[in-house]
Amino acid sequence: MPSNIRLISRLDIKGPNLIKGVHLEGLRVLGNPNIFATKYYKNSIDEILYIDSVASLYGRNNLSDILAKTAKDIFVPITAGGGLRSTDDVKDILRYGADKVAINTAAVKDPSLISKVSSMFGSQCMVLSVQAKKVNTNTWEVYIEGGREKTGIDVIDWVKEGIKLNAGEILLTSIDMEGTKLGFDLNLVEAVSSISPVPVIASGGMGNLNNARDVIIESNADAIAIANVLHYNKYSVAEVRDHLLNCNINLREVS
């Protein structure tokens, strides 16, 4: 089991609003993302993850205003993703306050972007976002464009390539489990963690506290991205943290 596990609040954005869906579809507006992010920060979240959920469709990322506001009041690492297609896009989003970028669609279309971003801004900045959909028990396919387009690429093969190109972290989202509250895809996370020397963030499916425990203990996730249960106040960050500590899981220390 990895040490210093991180708790990350995932905020999916459409326009100026925080939204949430199921299987990356059926999006529901929840409110002002800065209000949610500030609450999680005050409750000792380790990191904030913003994903512009429709950016790939429109070829641009609209997180600049949200990031600028967040960076004024929140002092934990912020990752931004969605619609980033070039090193210039990355430079712009970092200037607005992001510490790291998560790239999916553009990296699949041009894998050299991974090494370019890593070379220019450091590998710790380059998070390879992988949207995975199950093919069978032990096989998953990479999807792009917000989970809407198949690629025919095997997830494990793609993660290996991304790591060779110097991705510093893997954001692994299960399309099958995302928004269902039925738990993480433990087989998927374990399969990726077992071949990845860089941290793996498990995303998609958390519905209760034991889901968080299981994906860390059974699947060796280095971090968990939490959305639904925080957004709908089923649990607080503190409750998640306390439960994992009670399970003898080492978490990143709160500063």
For residue range 62-103, list pLDDT tens digits in order. 789 999 999 999 999 999 999 899 999 999 999 999 999 999
pLDDT at 58 over 60: no
Residue 220 · residue 196 · CB < 8 Å: no
Residue 169 · residue 100 · CB < 8 Å: yes
For residue range 200-238, list pLDDT tens digits in order. 999 999 999 999 999 999 999 999 999 999 999 999 999
pLDDT at 29 over 60: yes
pLDDT of residue 110: 98
Domain count, the chain: 1
Query: Per mean pLDDT, which range of 17-26, 224-233, 236-245 is the poorest?
Result: 17-26
Q: Is residue 78 part of a domain?
A: yes
Query: Per mean pLDDT, which range of 11-20, 104-113, 136-145 is the poorest?
Result: 11-20
pLDDT of residue 137: 87
Q: Give the pLDDT band (50/70/90) at residue 105.
A: very high
Q: Is 220 exposed, middle or buried (0-12, 13-18, 19+ CB in 10 A)?
A: middle
Q: Give the pLDDT band (50/70/90) at residue 25.
A: low
Q: Is residue 251 part of a domain?
A: no
Q: Is residue 56 part of a domain?
A: yes
What backbone phi and psi angles, to 5 degrees, belong to 219?
-115, 0
pLDDT mean over 136-163 = 95
pLDDT mean over 45-70 = 83
- Which CATH number covers residue 16? 3.20.20.70
Q: What percent of the chain has pLDDT over 90?
A: 83
Q: Is residue 21 part of a domain?
A: yes
Give me the domain span that covers residue 89: 6-246
Q: Is residue 108 part of a domain?
A: yes
pLDDT mean over 143-168 = 96
pLDDT averaged over the chain?
Answer: 93
Q: Is residue 1 part of a domain?
A: no
pLDDT mean over 114-134 = 98
SS (H, E, C) 84-104: CCCHHHHHHHHHCCCCEEEEC
Query: Per mean pLDDT, which range of 5-14, 27-36, 110-119 is the poorest?
Result: 27-36
Residue 223 · residue 202 · CB < 8 Å: yes
pLDDT at 133 over 80: yes
pTM reported for the whole predicted model: 0.95
Q: Is residue 51 part of a domain?
A: yes
Q: Is residue 75 part of a domain?
A: yes
